[in-house]
Amino acid sequence: MTRRHNRTRAERGIPEATVARLPVYLRALHSLQERGVATVSSEELATAAGVNSAKLRKDLSHLGSYGTRGVGYEVEYLVYQISRELGLTQDWVVAIIGVGNLGRALAGYGGFASRGFRVAALLDADESVVGERISGLTVRHIDDLESVVAEQGVSIAVLATPAAAAQSLCDRVVAAGVTSVLNFAPVVLSVPEGVDVRKVDLSIELQILAFHEQRKAGGPGEGGWAGELDGPGDRPRGEGPPGTKQYIEAVEA
């Protein structure tokens, strides 16, 4: 441990994996705070967050040296430090684009406001929805997107539209100056350099679960590949693609 200047830490670079866990730690800390806990050890906090304690300590060390050896971390202080690092000490203005089932659910989700996210606008293309009041907001028409973004100072756009509309709406919000997008539409968005996109895809999550579930039940497509090493029925490798032969057979197997 080279003492020296106290800048040994990541100058600017907190690992992405760490950033993704900070919100989890923060939640655990809030929970502790509510229970009146003032101090917590890395071991306890790690358990609450569902991670390894060494990983937690290393994560926190990227923010600075905020623990006390022999004691642990002061909950309130840590809450503040993580909040500041994540940018939660300031307010973020969010616009939700698309007020279908999902958009409504998001508009009513309480987890946003409590974290410094202020849903300031709901927009939709459907005339029959425009004007409706949802969770204290009046739905605006998508034509007003640019002006709403400007007026409200929107910095994060949440796309909860059908897949077909997502890319063009994304282009519009980006053109309007938004540089962070949370995308619920099942499409890969392409955005210019400097714009961040995060994707939430329900169907992909289920598919990943299905993969593991299938594995537990034993091999792909049911039945697995009995004799892998040789003999007939070997894995179709370079079998010459879809002659429609063993392809169809496999379908019916």
Partner DNA sequence: CGGACTTTGTGCGCGTGTTCACAAAGGCTT
Partner DNA sequence: AAGCCTTTGTGAACACGCGCACAAAGTCCG
Task: Give me the residues that bind DNA (CB under 7 A), please.
Answer: 1-3, 8-9, 15-18, 41-43, 51-55, 57-58, 60-61, 65-73, 238
CB of residue 147 to a copy of itself, shortest distance in Å: 21
Nearer to DNA, 4 or 133 (CB): 4
Among DNA, a copy of itself, none, the one that 245 touches (CB under a kind-dependent 5 to 8 A) is none
Q: How far apart are CA 124 and CA 157, in angstroms?
A: 13
Q: How far apart are CA 105 and CA 103, in angstroms?
A: 5
| Residues 196, 180 contacting (CB under 8 angstroms) | yes
Q: How far apart are CA 48 and CA 164, in angstroms?
A: 40
CB of residue 131 to a copy of itself, shortest distance in Å: 20
CA distances from 235 to 100, 118, 240 (A): 45, 54, 12
| Residues 75, 37 contacting (CB under 8 angstroms) | yes
Q: How far apart are CA 201 and CA 183, in angstroms?
A: 8
Among a copy of itself, DNA, none, the one that 104 touches (CB under a kind-dependent 5 to 8 A) is a copy of itself
Among DNA, a copy of itself, none, the one that 115 touches (CB under a kind-dependent 5 to 8 A) is a copy of itself
- The pair of three-digit structure tokens given for residue 230, joined into one six-digit string: 């040789």
Nearer to a copy of itself, 131 or 221 (CB): 221
Tell whether 102 is in a known binding site. yes
CB of residue 234 to a copy of itself, shortest distance in Å: 6
Tell whether 99 is in a known binding site. yes
Tell whether 98 is in a known binding site. yes
Nearer to a copy of itself, 143 or 248 (CB): 248
Buried/exposed 84-94: b ≥16 CB within 10 Å, e otherwise: ebeebeeebbb
Tell whether 108 is in a known binding site. no
Tell whether 110 is in a known binding site. no
Nearer to a copy of itself, 88 or 97 (CB): 88
Q: State the binding site.
A: 98-103
